């Protein structure tokens, strides 16, 4: 009942306004998010339960607005000259016809050939300008605001701006039909259309060519409500503003800007409409704004091809809450978004392609790489919504998908980021060498990916899915998922396939583990500081042929508190930490064809969760703890490989079994009463060096721990049998499982680590 009443109230309002030139405006947070002429609206109705949708039916189709997307509705007269007396200025080649009903009321219109000058002391005078001249101009001085309508005007100036609104007053510009204005290349003014005050535009079409400098130059605020502006070509900026731009509706096409497409010293706000900007000059911007850039609706497309160009360059902050933003950058060192302040994105669709490459620049005697990136921010990036498609093709060497010099936070977005270009080594200076590589997500500060659906693919040499910190930011942290969050709150898929880059070669020694040298390695997820996984579904695949391709790596402490994590590495450790690796919960599957399953170069603490870790042949291990401080206090863990690190007896509180068996054997562990604790199909080992002992040939070491293992109890270990039925997850069987055949042995658990022979030797 309430919805019906509101529908009829709006319809009655529209009927009352239909015969007049009114617009209907939807507002949100002070911005116009939708505008339509009332006489173009056929029907307004509501659909669905709260929160309902409002459907606006026009001749061009039906537009649906969720009630939550606007907070007020207003009606306003279109910006047309009011009815009544009007000043008419009609160009006719080299002459002008003037009708001035206010000649005795403070309005003076003087002409010299096709040069027209207006001086007015009268407020709100309406002017209609029409006709055609190839050598004319219009200059208007006024002490008060006025209305100006261009009615199918074709005006080319032979010496100055085509239209000069020379007084610092508000001008309402109505476009009727299609008008074309062109200035002279020798003009002392900076725009084909120049306004010293504020300018509000609506209506038809205006074609502009700026030969002297800019197409349109506005010193006050420029507001676009409807209509079409085509900037056909300029010597400098397409539209240049000394203050603010408010784009509420209408179409803008900047076909070729000699400099920036839009350049405003104040703020730029895009609430609706369709904007297309093309600039080809070196070091230019599709949009240059000194103040805040805001986009809440509409469609904005930017194409730049010059070296070191920017799609949008914001000296302050950039906020996007809605709309569709498409940027194509093809110049070297270019950026899709380059923001000196903070980036805040909570909605909208963002599609950026950056195909230019990295260039080495000399800075104080050193070579410094300048990247071509999709989104680059000098401070913090906060993303809480929106849909992102970012592509860095093979021509983009070393570029970044999203890069923050400060912190990067993602909480709720959908992203698909692809980097395809190879990285490269280079000489910094003298004998100092380094390398630059691509990354889908990059931050110097802390990175938090709390929720959302992200697919990150890096196929170039040295490429990384996520890269946090560098040699100057060794304490930068990475957090995945929220504490207590669900596994579907964050879905993160990372794939890398590029090979490592040799920065400097080394000698090394023969045999497994030999090598040396300095390399820029591909990584799925890498953090220079601590890395914490709290929740979410995290899947990482690294398929490169050389070492260095870890899936998840922390150069400090790696902590897994929860989540569903699956990692696969063809050549290196899927999960690696430099100082400490702690697992408190979650479900983890980690597999390597040629290295350890899980590796801590420091200490290893297993406190909870469910983990399967598969390493390769000897000397690789299911669990590798280099510091020999391997503590187990809880959780279910299965580690298989050619060997294993031994849990540290005096710190463990939960016992484990070290089972020497054979590659590919099926293992079942039972309590003395016949209760099954574990049924597991061991993998067939690959890779490794092939050292003597278990894992060297067909031998395998399985480290198993579970809360059901207790000291002082005996257990049966079956091996070399057959498993059928049940549910299989990476070799671990649950449910209605049948184990048949094989052999068995009984083991008494009297210490924190008990060795069991189950068809394997004792290495």
Query: Average per-residue pLDDT in the chain?
Result: 91
Given a cut of 70, whether residue 28 has pLDDT beyond it is no
The pLDDT, as a whole number, for residue 604 is 98
Question: For residue 533, what are the contacts with CB-CB under 8 A and spacing of at least 6?
Answer: 480, 481, 552, 559, 560, 561, 562, 563, 565, 586
pLDDT band at 57 (very low <50, low <70, confident <90, very high): confident
Q: What average pLDDT score do residues 614-639 get? A: 94
Q: Are the beta carbons of 152 and 130 closer than 8 angstroms?
A: yes
Q: What average pLDDT score do residues 717-728 get? A: 98
Which segments of the chain belong to CATH 2.60.40?
A: 633-757
pLDDT in tens, 238-289: 999 999 999 999 999 999 888 999 999 999 999 999 999 999 989 999 999 9
Q: In the block, which residue shows the tokens 């607005």?
A: 65
pLDDT band at 513 (very low <50, low <70, confident <90, very high): very low
CA distances in angstroms from 74 to 32, 53, 117, 645, 759, listed in the order given:
10, 18, 37, 72, 82
Q: What is the DSSP letter of 651?
A: T
pLDDT in tens, 155-183: 999 999 999 999 999 999 999 999 999 99
Weakest mean pLDDT among 330-339, 514-523, 702-711: 514-523
The pLDDT, as a whole number, for residue 691 is 47
pLDDT in tens, 236-249: 999 999 999 999 99
Q: What average pLDDT score do residues 339-343 get? A: 98
**Any idea of the CA torsion for 645, 650, 656, 659, to the nearest 10 degrees?**
50
pLDDT in tens, 436-451: 999 999 999 999 999 9
Please classify residue 686 by burial: count the beta carbons closer than 10 Å to its beta carbon, then call 0-12 exposed, 13-18 middle and 19+ buried: middle
The pLDDT, as a whole number, for residue 33 is 63
The pTM (predicted TM-score) of the whole model is 0.88
Q: Which CATH number fits domain 633-757: 3.30.420, 3.30.70, 1.25.10, 2.60.40?
A: 2.60.40
The pLDDT, as a whole number, for residue 348 is 98
Given a cut of 60, whether residue 2 has pLDDT beyond it is no
d(CA 296, CA 345): 10
The pLDDT, as a whole number, for residue 683 is 96
Helices then strands, each counted (H, E), the chain: 1, 73
């Amino acid at each position: 009942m309430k919805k019906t009443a509101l529908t009829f109230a709006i319809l009655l309002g529209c009927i009352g306004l239909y015969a007049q030139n009114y617009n209907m405006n939807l507002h949100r947070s002070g911005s116009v998010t939708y505008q339509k002429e009332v006489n173009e609206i056929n029907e307004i109705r509501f659909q669905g339960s709260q929160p309902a949708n409002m459907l606006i039916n026009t001749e061009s189709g039906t537009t649906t607005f969720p009630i939550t997307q606007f907070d007020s509705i207003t009606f306003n007269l279109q910006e047309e000259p009011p009815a009544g007396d009007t000043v008419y200025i009609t160009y006719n080649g080299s002459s002008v016809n003037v009708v001035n009903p206010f000649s005795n009321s403070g309005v003076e219109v003087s002409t010299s050939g096709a040069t027209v000058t207006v001086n007015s002391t009268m407020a709100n005078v309406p002017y209609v300008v029409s006709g055609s001249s190839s050598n004319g101009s219009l200059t208007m001085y006024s002490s008060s605001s006025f209305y100006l309508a261009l009615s199918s005007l074709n005006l080319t100036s032979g010496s100055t701006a085509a239209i000069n609104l020379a007084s610092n007053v508000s001008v309402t510009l109505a476009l009727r039909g299609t008008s074309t204005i062109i200035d002279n290349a020798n003009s002392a003014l900076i725009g084909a259309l120049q306004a010293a005050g504020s300018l509000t535009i609506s209506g038809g079409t205006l074609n502009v060519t700026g030969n002297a400098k800019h197409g349109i130059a506005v010193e006050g605020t420029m507001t676009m409500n409807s209509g079409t502006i085509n900037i056909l070509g300029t010597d400098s900026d397409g539209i240049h503003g000394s203050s603010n731009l408010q784009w509420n509706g209408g179409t803008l096409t900047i076909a070729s800007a000699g400099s920036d497409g839009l350049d405003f010293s104040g703020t730029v706000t895009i609430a609706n409409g369709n904007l297309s900007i093309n600039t080809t000059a070196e070091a230019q911007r599709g949009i240059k704004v000194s103040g805040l850039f805001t986009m809440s609706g509409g469609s904005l497309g930017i194409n730049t091809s010059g070296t070191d160009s920017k799609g949008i360059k914001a000296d302050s902050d950039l906020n996007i809450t809605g709309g569709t933003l498409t940027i194509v950058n093809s110049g070297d060192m270019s950026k899709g978004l380059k923001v000196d302040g903070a980036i805040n994105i909570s909605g909208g669709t963002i599609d950026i392609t950056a195909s230019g490459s990295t260039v080495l620049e000399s800075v104080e005697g050193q070579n410094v790489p300048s990247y071509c990136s999709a989104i680059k921010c000098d401070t913090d990036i906060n993303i809480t919504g929106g849909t992102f498609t970012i592509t860095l093709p093979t021509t983009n060497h070393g570029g970044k998908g999203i890069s923050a010099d400060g912190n990067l936070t993602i909480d709720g977005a959908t992203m698909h980021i692809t980097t395809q270009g190879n990285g490269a080594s280079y000489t910094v200076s003298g004998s100092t060498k380094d390398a630059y590589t691509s990354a889908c997500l990059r931050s110097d500060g802390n990175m938090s990916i709390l929720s959302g659906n992200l697919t990150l693919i890096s196929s170039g040499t040295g490429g990384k899915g996520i890269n946090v910190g560098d040699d100057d930011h060794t304490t930068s942290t990475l957090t995945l998922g929220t504490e207590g969050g669900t596994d579907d709150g964050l879905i993160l898929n990372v794939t890398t396939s590029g090979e490592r880059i040799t920065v400097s070669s080394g000698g090394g020694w023969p045999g497994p583990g030999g090598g040396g040298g300095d390399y820029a390695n591909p990584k799925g997820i890498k953090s220079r500081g601590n890395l914490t996984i709290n929740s979410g579904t995290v899947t990482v695949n690294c398929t490169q042929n050389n070492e260095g391709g870890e899936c998840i790596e922390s150069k400090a402490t790696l902590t897994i508190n929860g989540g569903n994590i699956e990692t696969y590495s063809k050549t290196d450790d899927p999960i690696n930490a430099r100082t400490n690796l702690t697992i408190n919960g979650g479900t983890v599957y980690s597999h390597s064809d040629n290295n350890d399953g899980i590796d801590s170069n420091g200490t290893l603490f297993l406190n909870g969760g469910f983990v399967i870790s598969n390493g390769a042949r000897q000397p690789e291990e299911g669990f590798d703890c280099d510091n020999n401080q391997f503590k187990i206090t809880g959780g279910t863990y299965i580690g298989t490989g050619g060997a294993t690190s031994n849990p540290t007896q005096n710190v463990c509180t939960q016992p484990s079994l070290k089972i020497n068996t054979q590659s590919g054997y099926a293992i079942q562990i039972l309590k003395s009463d016949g209760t099954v604790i574990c049924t597991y199909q061991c993998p067939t080992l690959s890779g490794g060096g092939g050292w003597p002992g278990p894992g060297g040939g067909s031998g395998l070491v399985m480290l198993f721990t579970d809360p059901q293992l207790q000291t002082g109890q005996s257990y049966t270990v079956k091996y070399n049998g057959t498993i059928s039925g049940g549910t299989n997850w990476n070799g671990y069987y649950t449910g209605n499982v049948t184990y048949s055949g094989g052999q068995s042995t009984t083991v008494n658990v009297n210490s924190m680590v008990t060795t069991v022979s189950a068809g394997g030797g004792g290495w």
